[in-house]
Amino acid sequence: MAKEYKNPALTTDIILFSCDGEKDLKVLLIKRKYEPFKDKWAFPGGFVEYDEELETAAHRELEEETGIKDLCLKQLGTFGRVGRDPRGRTVSVVYYAFVDDASKLNVKAQDDAKDARWFNIKKLPELAFDHAEILDCALANVKQI
């Protein structure tokens, strides 16, 4: 008799970094419009559709929530700690990119994002989900580049 398995949900999250000529690194965050974590800041991202490639989902979610498109995204890693999403078992594939001039991107909050803006990584608001841990991992990795 086959054991029954529950399938976890799959998401992508996108971390965009920029310096904009300043010495401090910035990261783009969106303010969530809906629960869970309504009105909290998070990375742009969302659920992967059943017949969608991972990177395609990342580009789609980034454009849907911020209006940003045509960036070269690199995969950072996969994050799937049990309990990271109160909606249920969710695994996220995280992508990142560096943007030379963030002012040219014309960032606009859209879809399920209430707001979108750049934050100095030394002055971040409280982040939703496990995004603070993911950001720490991303920063450790980018320092090695």
102 found inside a domain = yes
How many structural domains is the chain composed of? 1
* Half-sphere exposure of residue 76: CA atoms within 13 angstroms, side-chain side: 27
58 found inside a domain = yes
Q: Tell me, what's the pLDDT at 104?
A: 86
31 found inside a domain = yes
pTM of the model: 0.93
Per-residue pLDDT of the chain (145 residues; tens, 9 = 90+): 557 888 999 999 999 999 866 678 999 999 999 999 999 999 999 999 999 999 999 999 999 999 999 999 999 999 999 999 999 999 999 999 999 888 889 899 999 999 999 999 999 999 999 999 999 999 998 876 5
3 found inside a domain = no
Q: Tell me, what's the pLDDT at 2?
A: 59
Q: How many residues in total does the chain contain?
A: 145
Distance CA 118, CA 56 (A): 23
Give the domain extent around 42. Answer: 9-142
1 found inside a domain = no
The enclosing domain of 62 has a CATH number of 3.90.79.10
Q: Tell me, what's the pLDDT at 22?
A: 67
CB-CB contact of 42 with 76 (8 Å):
no
Q: Tell me, what's the pLDDT at 65?
A: 98
Q: Tell me, what's the pLDDT at 4?
A: 82
2 found inside a domain = no
Q: Tell me, what's the pLDDT at 81?
A: 96
